[in-house]
Structure 1
Amino acid sequence: MVTGQKAVFYLVREEILPEAIKKTIKVKELLKRGEARTINEAVEKMELSRSAYYKYKDYVFPFYEASKEKIVTLALLLEHKSGVLSRVLNTIANEHGSVLTINQGIPLQGVANAAISIETADLAIDLEAMLDKLRMVDGVKRLEVLGQA
């Protein structure tokens, strides 16, 4: 990339990535979790060359890292039952997410649409893990990431 040009990002499904890129991400995760003490140890565990790791390490990262310290807007379809929205908000709060806005529509046919904007800077877990927790909340029928700022 030429200096001064804005970086362009793409969201790509893991299964189409070359093996070296997948392994680079896993090496970074091993190091982050402390499952490997050195880069040499991590690349050996993943059977990846050091040169491939250094080639890709600054250019690949999981989705949740791209959303760290950002505002993420979620679209939810919630059952019209007492406490569903409260449980969603408590789940976000328990993981140190900061709710910035909540918009909920009037329930129709037993469900209501809701949009929640969250600041992710202080999340205790990665965004993907929190999204999985939110999907497991009783009464959440659908959850999608609408956008990031």
Structure 2
Amino acid sequence: MIFKMHPSEENLWDYFHNELTADNKESIENHLSGCDQCKEKYNLLIKDEKFFQNMDFPHPPKGFATKIVDKVVRRKEKVEKLWVSTFKVALYLSLLVLVGALIWIMDSFTMDITPYYSSIIWYGIPVIFLVLMTKYFDQKKLEH
């Protein structure tokens, strides 16, 4: 590749890192020997590269990546538990509303003498049912 125009900065980087074919390398060398503008650009590139190579960047402590991954995993587990808990609460509330609606419909058809006591019994049964289901699911979770 003979450069009729100035080589691109990418070509100069590739030349600096010795990533060119022999023909391209020779073309850039010939161009740099005759072009002061590109030679200065290349020297600035070398100067910048050396500056960044000599910089002492801080290194993370040992186990840093492992700690970050562990935190991400724990966070993900917490979010999953939150969604499961939210779903359980929504499910239980839906069941409670459904049973309550069924009881209300049943109570509207029966003219019971003691509606207060029948309501306590009918509304108490779903609550007890939900508490028992919660205990059952929590026990199952502990087994796994």
For the aligned pair, the TM-score class normalised by the smaller chain equals under 0.3
**Structure with higher strand content:** 1
Between the two structures, name the one with larger relative contact order (CA 8 Å, sep ≥ 6): 1
TM-score, normalised to structure 2, is 0.21
* Structure having the higher Rg: 2
